[in-house]
Amino acid sequence: MSRFWSDTVRNILPYVPGEQPQDKKYIKLNTNENPYPPSPKVIEAIRKEIGSDLRLYPDPEASLLKEALAGFYRVKPGEVFVGNGSDEILAFCFPAFFNPGDVITFPDITYSFYPVYAELFGIRYETTALNSDFTVDLGSFPEHADGILLANPNAPTGIAVGLNEIEVLLQRNSNKLVIVDEAYVDFGAESAVPLVKDYDNLLIVQTFSKSRALAGLRIGFAIGNRDLIEALDRVKNSFNSYTLDRVAIRAATEAVNDKEYFAEITGRIIKTREETAKRLVSLGFNVLPSRTNFLFVSHDRLSGMELYSMLKNDGILVRHFNRKGIENYLRITIGTEEEMEALVERLSCYVKSV
Ligand code: PMP
């Protein structure tokens, strides 16, 4: 602490990301990264981009990437915003769409970065309880809120709501901005992108970190009507003109264009998830229905903390949240088939020993 700290910095509780151990080699199932490498075409594009042009600033508009995304999602380039990871875009949403005194609302169990952004930007927030089966109660958001932030599928539960339900939410809350964080949507959930043309209160945020295997490059995007995108542009251009570097723009464009590779790796992860879920159920685990690249699981005879520690000891990292209501759950990222085999083998040993 220094006497020069602002009140905001003094009072804020920053988000704590999952462990990224640099020492020991773990089977890393704790931060929802993709177990497969980026598309070979992406690696090739990165190689080509590394050269003397790196002395030049990148295109501040990242037009190449916006056009590729617009083509993929059948929207206009002016309806697309890109940023340095979806975390950056979610952060920009707070000053772009809310005033001090406004209230933003989200479920109490969701991505734990949301309250941190609210604190940082001085926007009030109110949370609503999940149903007892961990589904989101879409009717529970307070009437007086100015905006709703919904992770769909939700994290860390992995549970998704359908497109019809999102549409009803948009209609019932036509005077509120609804931001849908679709970080995990490509693993079997329904995207709300097709609703953008009909609802001016919908903004969708997605990432290249999960389904496109590019967490290390930091790329995210948002889709919404032009006026919402302009608000994000205004914030970005008042903060940093060049949030995406040359390598990231080129690589992300190739990732969007390689549709086959994208379908192949997301399909593989979904298959491994379903197989792993079945095996964990047969070991007595309670496994929530996941539409993501992770499983949220608990066991009656072993606490979340015990399971986390035993796995870490055995070289497998998973995520445990020390939070009331989910303290007995583990969030396990879907890895390769071999990695999940090792996980199930360890877990079956622990279960048999109690
Ligand atoms: N939203 C959710 C729900 C997430 O779990 C994550 C990953 N931690 C993000 C957004 C941010 O992803 P990124 O910044 O890597 O795009």
| End position of a domain, from candidates 257, 274, 308 | 257
**Co-location of 167 and 32 in the same domain:** no
Residue 271 makes CB contacts below 8 A (sequence gap 6+) with: none
Tell the residue number behind the tokens 């685990």, with chain if given. Answer: 285
- Which residue's alpha carbon is nearest to atom 1 within ligand 1? 183
**In this structure, is residue 179 part of a structural domain?**
yes
Q: Which of ligand 1's atoms lies nearest the C-alpha of 181?
A: 1
3-state SS class at 52: helix
**Co-location of 203 and 285 in the same domain:** no
Q: Is the CB of 215 under 6 A from ligand 1?
A: yes
3-state SS class at 169: helix
**Co-location of 122 and 225 in the same domain:** yes
**In this structure, is residue 167 part of a structural domain?**
yes
**Co-location of 250 and 308 in the same domain:** no
**Co-location of 97 and 225 in the same domain:** yes
Q: Is the CB of 87 under 6 A from ligand 1?
A: yes
**In this structure, is residue 12 part of a structural domain?**
no
| End position of a domain, from candidates 233, 257, 281 | 257
**In this structure, is residue 243 part of a structural domain?**
yes
CATH number where 102 lies: 3.40.640.10
Query: What's the domain range around 277?
Result: 17-37+260-349
What is the pLDDT tens value at each position of the chain, 354 positions in all? 999 999 999 999 999 988 888 877 899 999 999 999 999 999 999 999 999 999 999 999 999 999 999 999 999 999 999 999 999 999 999 999 999 999 999 999 999 999 999 999 999 999 999 999 999 999 999 999 999 999 999 999 999 999 999 999 999 999 999 999 999 999 999 999 999 999 999 999 999 999 999 999 999 999 999 999 999 999 999 999 999 999 999 999 999 999 999 999 999 999 999 999 999 999 999 999 999 999 999 999 999 999 999 999 999 999 999 999 999 999 999 999 999 999 999 999 999 998
CATH number where 277 lies: 3.90.1150.10
- Residue 336 Cα to ligand 1 midpoint, Å, equals 21
Mutate to test the pocket of ligand 1, among 89, 92, 111 (most ligand atoms within 8 A of CB): 111
**Co-location of 137 and 85 in the same domain:** yes
Query: pTM above the 0.85 mark?
Result: yes
- Residue 207 Cα to ligand 1 midpoint, Å, equals 7
Query: How far is 31 from 286, CA to CA, in rounded Å?
Result: 21
Written as one letter, the residue type at 108 is: D
**Co-location of 243 and 276 in the same domain:** no
| End position of a domain, from candidates 257, 287, 313 | 257
**Co-location of 203 and 299 in the same domain:** no
**In this structure, is residue 2 part of a structural domain?**
no
Mutate to test the pocket of ligand 1, among 81, 86, 214 (most ligand atoms within 8 A of CB): 86
Written as one letter, the residue type at 86 is: S
**In this structure, is residue 354 part of a structural domain?**
no
**Co-location of 225 and 268 in the same domain:** no
Q: Is the CB of 49 under 6 A from ligand 1?
A: no
Complete DSSP assignment for 116-133: HHHHHHT-EEEEEPPPTT
- Residue 49 Cα to ligand 1 midpoint, Å, equals 26
Q: β-pairing, 202-207 with 220-224?
A: antiparallel
Number of domains forming the structure of the chain: 2
**Co-location of 171 and 50 in the same domain:** yes
Q: Is the CB of 199 under 6 A from ligand 1?
A: no
**Co-location of 230 and 273 in the same domain:** no
Tell the residue number behind the tokens 């941190």, with chain if given. Answer: 116
**In this structure, is residue 11 part of a structural domain?**
no
Instruction: Please report the pLDDT score of residue 23 as a whole number.
Output: 75
**In this structure, is residue 9 part of a structural domain?**
no
**Co-location of 91 and 29 in the same domain:** no
- Residue 261 Cα to ligand 1 midpoint, Å, equals 21
